[in-house]
Structure formats: C-alpha cells, structure tokens
Amino acid sequence: MSKVKFEYSDHLEIIGVKGIPEIRAGDDLTAIFFDALEKNDLCLESGDAIVFTSKVISKSEDRVVDLVEVKAGNEAERIAAETDKDPRIVQLILNEIREIVIVKQNNIIVETKHGFVCANAGVDESNVEDGKAVLLPEDPQSSVSRLRQEIEARSGKEVSVLTSDSFGRAFRDGVSGICVGVSGVPALLDRRGERDRFGRVAMITKEAIADEVCAAANLVMGEFNEGIPVAIVRGLRLKQRDSNIEDVLFHRANDLFR
C-alpha cells in the first residue's frame, strides 16, 4: 500500500441521496445515481466520497438468489438445525465462504471468499422480495473501482467510491456500517513514524478511514427501510488512488482472535 499524504478536514457533510428506485439486475447504477443527484439538486464536488450500500451493488449485479432454486446439502442441513436457520440460507452462506470461524448461539460467523469475517457471509433476506436472498457483491473492490471510473468520467470530478455493509462486532452488541470495497480514499491511514503534539513518535496508529466513512454514511442511510442506499461524504481531504479494502484485512498470522 502506498504512503498517503494526509490532511485532516475540520468540516464534513454527510448527504443522503434520496429518490433512488428499487434496483434490478442489470441496472446502470451510475446513471441512476446521476438521475438522483439531479432530482435532489445536488452536484458532485472534487473529493466527494460516495458510499453505496453493498445491497444496491449486489442487486444491480444480479446477486439475488431465489431460494426455491437452492438445494441444501448435508452440512447446510446440519448447521441449519443447530442454528435454527433455513437450510437453503445456510447453503448460500457455505457457498460464499473460505471457512467457518464459529457457529454459536444461532450465529454463523465466517470468513467470506473476499476475506471478510462477518455473520452469515453477508447473506441477507431484508429489503428484498419474500423468498429471495441477497449475497454480497462477488468482487466489491472491482465494483467500486468501476463505479469510480464511471462517475469520474461523467462528472469530471475526482471522487472516491466505497461500498458499505452492516457488520456485527466482536465484544460489542449491534451492527455498524463497515467498508467492503474502497477506491480513492485509504482503507487504512498509516501514520506510524509521525510525531505527536509532544514530539513523540507514534507507536501504532493506523486509522481505518474507509470503515469510519462507511459508519458515518450509515447514520443517513439507516439500517432498514429508509430507502437511502447512497450517501455522499463531502469534505475529506484524503486521497489514495490505489486503495484497496484488502489493506484492512489481517494476514492470518497477525489475527489475534483466530
């Protein structure tokens, strides 16, 4: 990961982009986003960080599965019985993972093929038609890179694009917005080696900027039926053209809790 020139902002805006319709497979998210900007009298500014929920990216990329087409195998049936879940949902989870981290108290915590440790591999039955489930984007990092290129080409502004999901956390109840793909702002801002206000060199300071941006965006997107799947975080002065959410994933050897 390249070293990032950082500069902090002392003023940010978080703008929920209203009026985005239900997204269907094959929809042009960029075109829909610009239509919504126009309806809201919003113009993009250079430096804007645009956060899309993973769900709208998944829907546009046809990552919605009809459960009648899912056949649960033996492992799925076994884990489903243990966790009181639909065996077909468990099969979808198993299809999306590298490994199971822990199955406990009706929770299935896994590492997804992308390397994210989360519940249920992000497989989600909310805000989709009954009998269907939404998977995480197959390659959210590519999705945001493509969206950034399209949005920059159309707007002429240098922006960043992130995609967020809501993950539970170890040791704390509740979910928080978290980043599953980032292009244009750093995933981690590595400030090791800099000096603090007393001249002392930082021991460890890597700030999870992309996750903080997605947590902030969640405050205007909500978790549920607000119908605001896109937010703009305006005023960040951080740039990293080659950012990648993989920067935030531990090498297995450094992961304290596995």
Within 185-224, the residues that bind its own copies by CB under 8 A are 187-189, 191, 194-198, 200, 202-203, 205-209, 211-213, 215-216, 218-224
Is 252 near its own copies (CB under 8 A)?
A: no
Interface map 115-134 toward its own copies (x if CB under 8 A): --x-------xxxxxx----
- In the bound complex, what is the minimum distance in angstroms from residue 254's beta carbon to its own copies? 7
249 binds its own copies per the rule CB under 8 A? yes
Residues 156/45, Cβ–Cβ less than 8 Å: no
Minimum distance of its own copies from residue 177's CB (angstroms) = 6
User: Contact with its own copies (CB under 8 A): which of 41, 99, 105, 193?
Assistant: 105
Instruction: Please tell me the number of Cα atoms within 13 Å of 116 on its side-chain side.
Output: 27
User: Under the criterion CB under 8 A, does residue 113 sit at the interface with its own copies?
Assistant: no
CB 245 to its own copies: min, Å: 10
The answer to whether 176 contacts its own copies (rule: CB under 8 A) is: yes
* Rounded distance between C-alpha atoms, residue 83 and residue 105, angstroms: 7
Which one, 73 or 242, has the nearer CB to its own copies? 242
Cα distances (angstroms) measured from residue 214 to each of 44, 98, 105, 254: 18, 25, 28, 24
List the alpha helices (DSSP H) in 103-156.
Answer: 140-155
- What values do phi and psi take at 168, rounded to 5? -70, 170
CA angle 24, 145, 2 (to 5 degrees): 155
Report the C-alpha gap between 165 and 93 in whole angstroms: 16
User: Looking at beta carbons only, is 97 or 236 nearer to its own copies?
Assistant: 236
The three-point CA angle 239-154-2 to 5° equals: 20
CB of 38 to its own copies, least distance (A): 16
- The answer to whether residue 16 forms part of the interface with its own copies (CB under 8 A) is yes
Report the half-sphere exposure of 219 (CA within 13 A, side-chain side).
10
Looking only at residues 48 through 77 of this chain, which bind its own copies when binding is defined by CB under 8 A?
A: none
CA distance 164 to 176: 10
| Nearest residue (CB) to its own copies, 42 versus 150 | 42
> Contact between 236 and its own copies (CB under 8 A)?
yes
256 binds its own copies, rule: CB under 8 A: yes
